[in-house]
């Protein structure tokens, strides 16, 4: 049994991203996992857009609760749309304050010119679930998967999270109801097996 935190990163609760997240949750719960859900629009992240990246031990209660959820989880699932080739600003803001120093990583004493960190989320895994207007093969091969690489390499792996798996769905804009239902069944199955 895993402890799974599903992070809903779409700005609308009636989005197809939410439908995918809910089906993933269904599959994961049926597999016997404990699942918690974090909807980013429920957080007041606007207050942190100008926090100047100053280290602190005194986070607001809202963020302390988020940090505790992230520490609790064995497996993090990010569900978001790909806009302009990347996760939306809501997800980026969450990463800046959620994956904070002393929470997700710790700077080690400086020796020489190389900054080293202790990866505090070592032992956790993750899945990225993203919708897009481009077909996933085009996004991966021709665009080079910029959003997935940023999430995986420069955020999740940096903090020790590995493996990081990806599930991309698109083009949602031109998809049929039948195709969308097929994707929902697929992600429910992924939720069972993650």
Report domain extents, the chain: 3-193
Q: Is the model's pLDDT at 117 over the cut of 80?
A: yes
Is it the case that residue 105 has pLDDT exceeding 60? yes
> If we measure between CA atoms, which residue out of 15, 104, 109, 34 comes closest to residue 68?
104
CATH number of 3-193: 3.40.50.360
The Cα–Cα gap between 69 and 37 comes to 9
Q: Would you state the pLDDT for residue 60?
A: 74
CA distance 157 to 99: 12
Report d(CA 149, CA 152) in Å as an integer.
5
The pLDDT value recorded for residue 50 is 65
3 state SS of 102: coil
User: 20-78, pLDDT tens digit by residue?
Assistant: 999 999 999 999 999 999 999 999 887 776 655 566 566 678 888 999 999 999 999 99
Summarize the confidence of residues 97-109 as an average pLDDT.
91
Which tokens go with 48? Answer: 């942190």
pLDDT digits (tens, 9 = 90+) for 131-163: 999 999 999 999 999 999 999 999 999 999 999
With DSSP H G I counted as helix, E B as strand and the rest as coil, what are the percentages for the chain, rounded to 5?
40, 25, 35
pTM: 0.94
Give long-range contacts, CB 8 A cutoff, 24+ apart: 63-66: 63/97, 63/98, 63/100, 66/38, 66/98
């Amino acid at each position: 049994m895993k402890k799974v935190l599903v992070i809903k990163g779409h700005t609308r609760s009636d989005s197809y991203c939410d439908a995918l997240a809910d089906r993933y949750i269904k599959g994961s719960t049926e597999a016997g996992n404990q699942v918690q859900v974090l909807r980013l629009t429920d957080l007041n992240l606007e207050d942190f857009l100008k926090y100047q990246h100053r280290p602190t031990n005194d986070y607001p209660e809202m963020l302390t609760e988020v940090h505790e959820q992230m520490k609790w989880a064995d497996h993090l699932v990010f569900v978001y749309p790909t806009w302009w080739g990347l996760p939306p600003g809501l997800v980026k803001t969450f990463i800046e304050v959620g994956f904070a120093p002393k929470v997700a990583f710790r700077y080690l004493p400086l020796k020489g010119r190389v900054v080293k960190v202790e990866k505090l989320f070592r032992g956790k895994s993750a899945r990225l679930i993203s919708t897009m207007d481009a077909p996933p093969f085009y996004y991966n091969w021709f665009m080079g998967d910029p959003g997935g690489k940023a999430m995986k390499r420069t955020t999740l792996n940096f903090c020790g999270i590995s493996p990081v798996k990806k599930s991309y769905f698109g083009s949602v804009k031109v998809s049929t109801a039948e195709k969308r239902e097929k994707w929902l069944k697929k992600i429910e199955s992924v939720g069972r097996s993650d």
